[in-house]
Amino acid sequence: MNSYEKIEVVTTYLEMTRPPADKESRHRLEKLAILRAHNPTISFYRYLYNTVGDKCLWYERRLMSDDDLLDIIHDEKVSIYVLYVDGVPAGYAEFDRRIDNDVELAYFGLIPEFIGRGLGSYLLDWSIRKAWSYDPQRVWVHTCTLDHPQALPTYQKLGFQPYKQETVTIDNPRLALVSSTQSKSE
């Protein structure tokens, strides 16, 4: 086995136990919209997940069957909001409220072409406020060393506090994705 087959990943879990006290941030662009995707199609959800998560090696949901994934994203306690810039999907935030009194920001990110334009902080600020609108006792998120290098500092800058960190060695997701793609084409 070579080193390419395994990857060490450090995951940091962060939480907020009270809503932000400061004013909501505004973005300099005028043509922004954040819309809830009610019961999104599997192809649209996979487009968002795969495009946002490609460089960060998001792989778990790529390996899920359509039926299993639909069970999650169509659950009444899971909400998906899409950020649009000039009518084009630019990123999304997914809230999971299936654990009582908690809102997990389960997935969050931007499509690569929209990174570096200040949209990440804007969407995260909006997402935090939306999460608190569900009246939880806490809002939490996790990020790992495979995510964008600014993810952890951005979460902390907007008020999340780390409460747990773990290091695991995983099978290289690139290999699983290649294997999954090959078996689907056969």
| Cα separations in angstroms, 120 against 56, 59, 87, 94, 127 | 15, 21, 17, 14, 10
Model confidence, pTM: 0.88
pLDDT of 75-90, one tens digit each?
999 999 999 999 999 9
Please state whether beta strands 6-16 and 102-110 pair in parallel, antiparallel, or not at all (unpaired). Answer: unpaired
- Give the mean model confidence (pLDDT) for residues 126-143: 96
CA pair distance 39, 124, nearest whole angstrom:
22
Is the predicted pLDDT of residue 167 greater than 70, yes or no? yes
Q: Could you confirm whether domain 3-185 is CATH 3.40.630.30?
A: yes
Is the predicted pLDDT of residue 72 greater than 90, yes or no? yes
pLDDT of 93-128, one tens digit each?
999 999 999 999 999 999 999 998 989 989 999 999
31, 186 contact by CB (below 8 A): no
- What local confidence, expressed as pLDDT, does residue 44 receive? 98
CA atoms within 13 A on the CB side of 3: 1
